[in-house]
Structure formats: structure tokens, C-alpha cells
Structure 1
Amino acid sequence: MPRYPDSFIEEVRERVDLLGVVGRHVQLKKSGTNWQGLCPFHHEKTPSFNVRPDKGFFKCFGCGQGGDVFEFLMKIRGLSFNETVEELAAVAGLPLPVLAQDTDFTRQKMDYRTSLFNLLTQVQDYYHTLLMNGPDQKALNYLRQRGLTDQTIQQFRLGYAPPGWQTLADRFQGMDNAQQLLEEVGLRVNKGESRYPYDRFRDRVIFPIHDSKGRCVGFGGRTMDPDGKPKYINSPETVLYQKGSLLYGLHQAQEAVQKEGEIILVEGYMDLISLVSHGIVHCAATLGTALTDEQIRLVWQRSRRVVYCFDGDNAGRQAAWRALEKSIEGLEADRHVRFLFLPQGTDPDQFIRHHGKGKFLSLLEKAVGLIEFLTERLSMDLSLSQPEGKAALVQRIRPYLERVSDPLLKELFVQSLAGQLAIPPWRVIRGVRPGPLIGQWGERKVNKGVEKDPPGLGGRDVERTLLGLLLRSPGLISDHEERLAGLELQNQAYLGLLEILVAMSPQILAAGNCLEVDHLPGDEWQSLARRILADEEVVHAFPEAELSHCLETLQIKHVDMLGKHVMVESWHDEDSFEERYRKFFALRQERNRLMASHCSQEN
């Protein structure tokens, strides 16, 4: 039977939030590292159904049902495996590959990946043995001088790559296809111009990098020479290792993250290892790269609270700012972001070694929230005691607040900032009151990034175009009867004709989806229909798509009208502002959804 490639299935499994999928069907409550609820597969009064998001499985101790996210959806919805993969891929936003037969080629490909994993594990163990028991003890002494115990070194499987250029070639000389595999996983460099490939890592402390299942997929190497350049080198991108899709140490931290309900993100290998060695284990590292969307997804999948803890210098502050910009759109009412800034010139590794766990935890309690960091960052050159400074800050911060998709959270951010600046909340979101608004749901202004009207229909009257489509293709009426019945047209004559057409839908259907204008009730409606057909003389090649275009355009215009109504009342009735504020953002969110759908059809 055709099936999707195993690599794609694994990617879907990694990207989908098990807790979110199960939570749509089962009311879950946190209990230690587990989430518990009443089993959906048998009747029970005491919860025996457990979910372990960190391990990626569920288990009911009452009826014995258990498995991963695919098995849960197959059981709860009665889907086939391929149907389950397709549904979860849609949730994860992954395009579907072509279904493949379980051929010898597919099995060979999976066997090849397995051989790469096995080789990386052997290299990891080899480097670790050289570190702990090799003749050159300088790397082990270096790590001990950095405050690491042998237990920590064992836990992270740290290693040492000796100075030789052919160490790995000699070590795996008797292994079939070893040289090709070593180059495939980035451990040997072959530039194509030389007959002599060489080891990538030489005379460096080695940090094995693992995926979420704990499999070694790559390495980082640090020089022990204070003047050595570069200080760190990493494995290149390979079929197993994509730097922006991993967080260092996450596979070991998952249980602690579940227990603490929080994850601390640092930048480097040693930052993470030092924190863990001092008993702060709910942390992961970004592998020294700028935070990516995929890494953010890994964080939100495992925790609803994240603390960014980067170096206490300008580069660390820049990294924190980039993390804020990456995180802000994914914020929800139950997702929290904080920023821990260390003293100037120190990183997490240095700080905890010099000051200890207690001092670090004290700083952690004082980590600032997103709105505080935004305010601090954007007001560095402003005097907030002066009206001009307050106005400038509001102007700068407004685009960031607009990116928060959760209406309630956005409202609370606005209230927090307004309280800090001692100004009314409506001044934060819009600077003019009362009178017409500038921008969306007020006077239209299409420059400076203000949202435009929905794409039109070549200057034509959308309401008239819609009626022309229905009169020429009356079969569309029954197909879209519910949406048509809910429309509110501005032209009352057009609205009356639409109501008549919807009411005649059964009669039109019985007549084989045919409609004669003379069958409309009354000369007035017949005359209006003929005028519309004369004005809308173009016969559309794709009437179904054109009708959907009209419907969405009219829905957007209706949401705009409601938005204007809400905002006019809000600006003129200060007592009702807080109540109407939430409704305003709900309408904005609905408009954005409709615009996205509308524009995707345009393209």
C-alpha cells in the first residue's frame, strides 16, 4: 500500500503538538510531568488517561490504549494512517509529498540514514573515550578547570578530537564505505580539489548535538587556545542536521521543562552545561545562532513560558531583541515571555560559576516581561517625563502591539503601557479622539503601511456583480444558500432581489437550475434583474470562483462597517471604551483572516 515517506512522517510527528491534538478531545489537567483526563476510549469516573508531551505518547491505564499522536487521531476519529498523516500535516503547515510505494529503494534509503546515525554514535563514543582515557589529558583538564565534573562530562558525552588530520580515517579504516559516510555527516572535509580529505575537528573539545529523540546528529568543536580562531566550529548542514531546527540539550531537558512549566533559552554550549551542572536543568541553547521560527515552535510545543537569558553585552541585548521579534506573533494569553539580562560583560556560564545557583535564581525572578523590554528598548533616547517623549514611544511601540494576535493579551499590554505613561488606553492604540479615525475603519490612507481596501472587481459594483452571477448561473444559489441568506447588502433594492432569489432556490433547483426573469414576482423585480444583466454583460468563465470572490469582498466590507461603528461609539463614549476595545480587536482579527483568504484566491 502506498504511504508517505518515513522522513516526512517523522517531521510531522516532530512538528505537531501532541498536547494540543489530544486537548481538543480530552479535558486535561497537569499532574507532575504528566497531563491527565478522563479516557475518551472507555467510560470512567476517575482519570486514568495520561499524556506525556515530552515523550510524545499517551497511555490509559484503565483500558490499555496508548500510542503516539498518529495512533490517537486514528482511534478517536476512525481515520486511516494516511488520512491521519494528511490531517496532521495540514495542522503543521507542511505540504504533502507524493505517496511512495514501500520499495527496495525506500528501504535502502532508510537503511542508509540508520547507518549515518550509527556512525555518528560511534564517533561520539570514540571522541568521549579519547577525552576520558586518552594519552593527552589537556582537554579533560580544561573542562575541569571550567568547573565541570566528570558526571556532567559523561551526561553530555563531551569528547576530544586530537590534532591529527586523518584520525577518523584511520579509526574507521576497516568499515565499509566509511570515507563516504564520514563526508556525508560532515566529519571529513573534501573540497574536491585535493586527493586527501581531512578531519573537520582537530585539537578541539567536542560537544555532541542530539535531536529530540537523543540521537547524535552533529558536533560542535571549541578550541582551547585563548587566541585560537575560530573559537567554535560546527558540523555543516546535512541530511540529519539542520542547525536552525534544533535546540542543544532539549532532549535531556524535556522532563524538567514539563515539571517546571518553563524553559530557559541560552546561546552557547557552555552556558547550558554550566547551568545544568549547577542544578538548573530546564534549559536549552540556540546553538549560537539567531533564534529561528522552527526553534520557537519547539519551545511553544513543550512549554507555555520561556525566559531568554543571553550574554550581558550589546550582542546579547541584540539577540534578546531578535528573540522578542520572533516571539511576539506567537504570543497568547497563556504564553509568557520574559528576558533575563545579566551584568555587563558576563555570560550565563561565567555568572553561575562565580555567583552560584542562588544568585542566578534571584535574577531569574526579576526577569522583565515583554512590554517592559519593549518600553526600555524603544525609549532609550527618549525622556518619558516629557509629553514629546511619551508620544514618540507610543508611535514606536504601536506596530509591535499590532503584531500580537491575541485580542485580550493585546488589550492588557495596552493597559500596562498606558498605566506606565499615565495616559488613557485609547491614546496608545489610536492617537486621535474624537472625530474620524486615520487608517483602518476611518479615513483611508494607503501609504505608510496602513491596510488597504480588499482587492476590488475592476471598479465594478460588487453587489450588482454578485446578483448578475446568480441571475446567469442560478444553480449557484442552492450551493451557497446559507452564505447568501446571511448577506447584508447596502443597496436595499439589491437586497430585496437577493432575498427573492434565495427564497426561489427550491423552485430553481426543481427546474434544473434554470431561471427565467419573467418568473420573478412583479414587474419591479423583473425590470431590476434585466438592468443588472444589461450592466453585467460579461459572462464569467469561472462563475463559482467569481461568486466566492464577491462573497468574501462583501464580508470584508461588512466587517469594516461594524468596525467603524464600534470605533465611533468607543471614541465618543469613554465609559464604554474598555468593553468595546475587545470587540474591536476581534473584528480586526476576522478582517485579517478574510483578507488572507481573499488575497490567496487572488494569487
Structure 2
Amino acid sequence: MALSPQWLDELRARVTLSSVIMRTEKLQRAGREWKACCPFHAEKTPSFTVNDEKGFYHCFGCGAHGDVIRWMTDQRGLAFMDAVKELAAQAGMEVPAPDPRAAQVAEQRAGLVDVTEAAQGWFAGNLASADGAAARAYLATRGFDAHTVQRFGFGYAPADRQALKRALGAFDESALQEAGLRIAVDDKEPYDRFRDRLMLPIHDARGRVIAFGGRILAPDKTDAPKYLNSPDTPLFDKGRTLYNLHRAAPVARQSGRVVVVEGYMDVIALAAAGIDEAVAPLGTALTERQIERLWRMVDAPVLCFDGDNAGQRAAQRAIGRALPLLRPGKSLAIVRLPAGLDPDDLIRQQGRAALDALLAAPASLIHTLWAFECDAQPLLTPEDKAGLKERLLAQVDAIQHPDIKALYRRELLERFSAFAFPPRPPREWPPRGGKPGTWQRGVARPPVPSPAHAAALGRAAGGGLRDHLESAVFAGLLRFPDQIMRHEAALGRLASRDPQAARVIDYLLDRVETLEPEAALPISADDSPVAHPDDSHFPFLRQGTDPDYARTVLAEAVALLVERPALEAAMEVATARFAADPEGALAEQARLRQRKLEIERRIGQMASNHAAAAAQEHGAEQAAQAGSGI
């Protein structure tokens, strides 16, 4: 079985070398590396080092050197394929099936690297020639110094359609075409793909030249693309490759940050300004495979796309592709540049400090998702707002991880509720023009209603609700209307989860301004969506209960009522995650059931405590009578 170099590179990238060696050797941290006494020869002073960034171990004593596969074969004594299979199982990769052509393909790719490396040397030489004057002038307008030009390997492709063929005559025409450097159309003579363009080499993760990008120099060629990349070849897969990854990855591991920009010119502009951990996709929107590559470096790559409409659409597409891949600890951060500016423009106009400030405070993925959907269409009518909710939930449905999906759904719905149902303005009691009273929001209390008034209020508080607690709480709020606005925030949370309760809560908030103590109810019981419960075992419904005590118990009842649907929602989340995390789900379900039992027990105690207090008072009265001889 022959394995491709790309597949083996992927395997090495997915397995941390030090974690494999630590299974049998005791490693000690030494700066950015690990050290230990060499397992290949006897020594007392450690000379064996492990470098995770470069992916190799080395002994300065005996010269032992290799990567994670070599460690498995030399130290563990495994056969090559056995080592590969064990590492692949650890990395979650599937070993390719045997392919008789694999060896031939691997040899072919190695030959193509020779072609692309030779082409890069030729392009770079052309830049310094007389033909490269226009390319050098363009680089000067971008402000790239000689160090940047050399570091990124700028070159020039002449306008001659056969110039590359003549320069690389040592290679077969078929190899030049397969490397993406030449184009054959029907029976016409093949010609060079890149002509009269400023050239940039594209490298793989190991730093080998695998493709090219070219920027047009002639401003009058409006029929040609401004930027032209190599096509997909046996070496180059644009959906997997990130420009500048081989330079950015070591820096990103040190800084804990990687910045994703739209194109390679943006990468180079950031590097010229001193920001070296930047990468870019190559002519496509950020793909799922590129996102996974970014997550191997950092937990939350920063997307920094242009501030124009195209840049924002690219960011939206990247978010859409990331949502199904989200998992604990892995996300995206997004920087929205000022309208019409790319990173290079921002640095030129406002300096690096302006870009640093934006990169230091990126928006979260969920915040950006909310902002994009809010900006997608006008939000003027109820139908517009309902459309926003529908779009948000459609985005949430794309998330595969059950816990993240539930959390996104909850937070986005909370944001939607706060937007679509903003808090009501503070209400006064009594309403302007009414009788002067002693109660204002959250401070004083109105007089206790008359018995007739309390009975009318009671008839308005209970029909059609889920259970006795709801009807009792709403009856208690109507009996003590000063508590309605005091508990407005908690009632709003209940309304967002219980549509039936929301109807009653809206009624309470709307009518609190019209309720006047010591007067007949200004609305008929038939006009109310609720009715009085059958009994009044809760203290806040009993006549004669101390008003302060009644309000205290009512506040606790409101809190319990609001907590119950939250517990039910949490139980649904725990059930949904059962397949992925059965032990965690069972533990969470047990905790939630226990809390639910505590709530029900406390509800029962509200009545039993009141009854016990009454019995105690009655017993004390009897004892007093007996003591007096009555």
C-alpha cells in the first residue's frame, strides 16, 4: 500500500509528537520544546529534544532524529504500516485503501514539485530583468520593501506566450501542463497560462511551491481577470490550501491568533506591517477543510474580510460553513472593517494601530450572525420581525453539536425577544389624572383592596392556565397590583417560554394602570382571559393574611413559576445530548429532576406552613384560655 505525501502530512499534523512520546518517556518543558534523556542511548544529562511545532525529535548525543512515524517504527519497533494505522486511529483518520497506482502518483507529484520550483526560480529572475520594470514599479506603489519582495518570492511572467516553455525546456510539455503552467486547447499549440503578470508562489504546509497566483499589470486588459490562480492539480487543491500557512503557523502557535484575510496581497500587506500570522483562501470562499486546518492552530481564528459588500458576503459564507462544524472550544471571531476598506487600505490611511485595535476586539460568531440577519432585510413590520426569527432558527438548525445548538437557539431567541418585545416603560400608580396614591414602581404599596374589589380581582385570575400555581400567582398579582411591575422582568421571561401565560401577563401589564383600590374593577370578569382558582390555600389569596407576609410568599411563588419552564427546557437539552454524552446527560437529568422535586415540595410547603402557623396560633389561644380557667 502506497500512501500519498499529502495524506501522511495530514496524519503528522493531526498528532502531537510530544503526546505520543510521553506515553513511554518522561518529558520536561524547555521553552518552546521538550527535553529528556535519550531513549536510544544511555546518558545522564538530557540531550534529547522534542519540537511539536516542527514535528520532529532530535538527540544531540547519538544523532537520533525523526518524526512521529519514525518514533513508532524505531522506538516502538512497529512496521511502517502498523505505525501508520495506530496513529491514524488516534487521529480519527481512515487509512486509504490499497491502490496499485498510488506509488506512481506519488512519484508523479514529486516530479511536479521539481517543475514548480524551477518555474518559481525563473519568475523571480525575471522580476530583476528589464522586462520586470512594470512589476517592480507596481510593487513600489504598494510600499513593499526589498525584504518583503524577497521573502514572499515575487516574480514576473513575460507577455510572450511561449517564454516559460523555452525557459523550462528540460521538462516535458505534459509535466508543464499538469503543473498548471501551460494550457492546451483542442488541437492548437499550447501556451503559457501566466503572461504579463506579477507572480507569487503558493506553498503547501511544508513550504514547497505547489502553485502560483498572478496579478495583471496592464490596466487596459479589462477582459482578463485581475487575479489568476493555478488550477487544481495533483499538487494543488485550492479548497484545502491556505496561502502563507507555512509561515503563519509557527507565529500563530506563539501568539495564539491567526488572522484570515481575503487575498494574498492582504496577507503581504499585514506582514509588511509586522502582522505575520495572516493567511488567505485562494479564489474561493473559506471551505470546511480550511476551517479545520485553522482550528488546528488556534481555537478561534479571526476573519478580517474587506468592508465592501463582497467581503461581508464572504464572511457570511464562512459563518454558514462553520456552523455545522462547531464543537466545544472551537469557533470563529469576526472583524468588520470600515465600509469600502481592506486591511491594506486601513493600514495606509489610519496606521497599524487602527487595525490592531479591531483585531484585539473581534465580535463573536453568534453576535455577527445576529447582526448579519438583522441587516439582511428591513425590520419594520411584524412580518419582517417574524422573518428574522425564521432566518435565525434556520441558521441554528445547521449546527450539529447538540449542546451548542441548544445554547445558540436560546441566546438568539432571547435577543429576538428583547428586540421584538422591548420592555414596557415604567408605569405610575395611580395613572396620571387619577387619585393620589402612596405606591410607585418597586417602592411603596397601595392600600389593600376592599373585600368586594378583591373578589372581583380574584374572578379574573385562573381559567385556561396549565395548573393551580399559575392561576394562584396571577390571582395574587391582581390582588396585590403593586407586585405586577416589581416582577415584570421575571414575568417577561415566563411569557417568552409559555404562550398561554404570555396572554395573561400582557393582560396584567395592560390593566395595572387602570386598577384603582377601594373601587369596583373597571373591567368586567368576562373581559379577562383568566378566572379565580377553586380554592385559596396559598397565603397571598387568604383574607386576613399579613400583607407583608403575603407579598413575600407571592414573590417566591413567582420565582418558582418562572423557573419551572426553564427546567423543562434544560431537560430537553439534556435529553437531546444523550446520544453524544450519555453519562453527562443522565447526571444532568438527575440534577434537574431533583430541582423539580424541590420546587414541587416548596409549593406544597407554602400551604402546609400556613396551615401549621394557623394551628399553632389556635393552640396558643386554647392554652391561654385553659390557663385563665375559662
Q: Secondary structure at the match of 1:379?
A: helix
After superposition, what is the alpha-carbon deviation per residue over 1:158-215, rounded to whole angstroms, capped at 9, x for unaligned? 1001111111122123x2x432321221111122311x22111111000111100110
Q: Could you tell me how far apart the structure 1 residues matched to 2:497 and 2:183 are?
A: 62
The separation in 1 between residues aligned to 2:152 and 2:491, in whole angstroms, is 52
Q: Deviations over 1:55-83 (max 9, x none)?
A: 23356899998643334556897753213
Aligned residue in 2 for 1:487: none
Given residue 197 of structure 1, which amino acid in structure 2 is its aligned partner? P
Alpha-carbon distance between aligned partners in 1 of 2:213 and 2:497, rounded to the nearest angstrom: 54
The answer (yes or no) to whether the contact 1:209–1:220 under 8 Å persists in 2 is yes
Give the Cα–Cα distance (whole angstroms) in 2 for the partners of residues 69 and 32 of structure 1.
19
What is the match of residue 96 of structure 1?
A: 96
- Asked if structure 2 preserves the Cα contact closer than 8 Å seen for 1:131 and 1:160, the reply is yes
| TM-score of the aligned structures, taking structure 2 as reference length | 0.61
The equivalent position to 1:18 in structure 2, one of 16, 19, 23, is 16
Separation in structure 2 between the aligned mates of residue 271 and residue 426 of structure 1, nearest angstrom: 51
Contact 1:4 1:97 in 2 (8 A): no
For the residues of structure 1 that align with 2:131 and 2:358, how far apart are their CA atoms? 42
Cα separation, 2, equivalents of 1:403 and 1:49: 47
Aligned to 2:574: 583
Whether 1:83 and 2:78 are equivalent positions in the alignment is no
Q: 1:247 aligned to 2:246?
A: no
1:125-204, aligned counterparts within 5 Å? 125-173=121-169, 175=170, 177-194=171-188, 196-204=189-197
Matched, 1:360 2:351: no
SS at match of 1:308: strand
| 1:191–1:99 Cα change, 3 Å | closer
Q: CA deviation at 1:47?
A: 11
- 2:555 matched residue in structure 1: none
Aligned equivalents of 2:561, 2:194: Cα separation in 1: 64
CA distance in 1 between counterparts of 2:409 and 2:273 reads 39
1:533 corresponds to which residue? none
3-state SS of 1:243 partner: coil
| Residue identity opposite 1:171 in structure 2 | A
**Which of 281, 284, 292 is equivalent to 1:289?**
284
Q: Which blocks of at least 5 consecutive residues in structure 2 are unaligned?
A: 419-488, 501-559, 583-630
| In structure 1, distance between residues paired with 2:10 and 2:360 | 36
**2:372 maps to what in 1?**
377
Residue of structure 2 equivalent to 1:514: none
Q: Partner amino acid for 2:287?
A: T
Give the letter for the 2:143 counterpart: G
Cα distance in 1 for residues equivalent to 2:569 and 2:386: 21
Moved more, 287-296 or 224-233: 224-233
Residue correspondence of structure 1 range 420-435 to structure 2 within 5 A: 420-421=415-416, 433=498
**Deviation at 1:345?**
1.5
State how far apart, in whole Å, the 1-side matches of 2:374 and 2:578 are: 31
* Pairwise CA distance, 1:114: 2.7
Q: Please give the alpha-carbon distance, in whole angstroms, between the structure 1 residues aligned to 2:192 and 2:566.
A: 71
- The 5 Å alignment of 1:292-441 reads 292-380=287-375, 392-406=387-401, 409-410=404-405, 412-414=407-409, 416-417=411-412, 420-421=415-416, 433=498
The amino acid across from 1:118 in the alignment is: D
| TM superposition shift of 1:271 | 0.8
State the partner residue of 2:212. Answer: 219
* More moved, 578-587 vs 164-173: 578-587
Inter-partner Cα distance in structure 2 for 1:33 and 1:292: 34
Alpha-carbon spacing, 1:575–1:413, altered in 2? closer, same or farther (3 Å): closer
- Paired with 2:410 and 2:62, the residues of 1 have a C-alpha distance of 49
Query: Would the aligned equivalents of 1:210 and 1:218 in 2 still touch at CA under 8 Å?
Result: yes
The letter of the residue matching 1:183 is Q
Determine the structure 2 residue equivalent to 1:121: 117
SS, match of residue 128 in structure 2: helix
Structure possessing the higher relative contact order (Cα contacts under 8 Å, 6 or more residues apart): 1
CA–CA separation in structure 2 for the residues paired with 1:311 and 1:383? 23
Cα distance in 2 between the residues matched to 1:155 and 1:168: 23
- TM-score, normalised to structure 1, is 0.64
Identity %: 33
1:280 partnered with 2:278: no
CA distance change for structure 1 residues 21 and 431 in 2, over 3 Å: closer, same or farther? farther
For the residues of structure 2 that align with 1:37 and 1:576, how far apart are their CA atoms? 51
Specify the structure having the higher radius of gyration (Cα). 2
Call closer, same or farther: CA 1:59–1:344 in 2, change over 3 Å: same
DSSP 3-state at the match of 2:351: helix
Distance 1:277 1:119, change over 3 A: same
Instruction: Confirm or deny: 8 A CA contact 1:33 1:255 kept in the other structure.
Output: no
Aligned mates of 1:68, 1:124 — CA distance in 2: 28
Task: Check conservation: 1:36, 1:48, Cα contact below 8 A.
Answer: no
Measured in 2, the distance between the counterparts of 1:282 and 1:115 equals 31
Q: Matched residue pairs, number?
A: 452
Preserved contact between residue 375 and residue 393 of structure 1 (Cα < 8 Å): no
Report the counterpart of residue 69 of structure 1 in structure 2: 68
1:234 is aligned to 229
Instruction: Report the Cα offset of residue 113 of structure 1.
Output: 2.8
Contact 1:147 1:353 in 2 (8 A): no
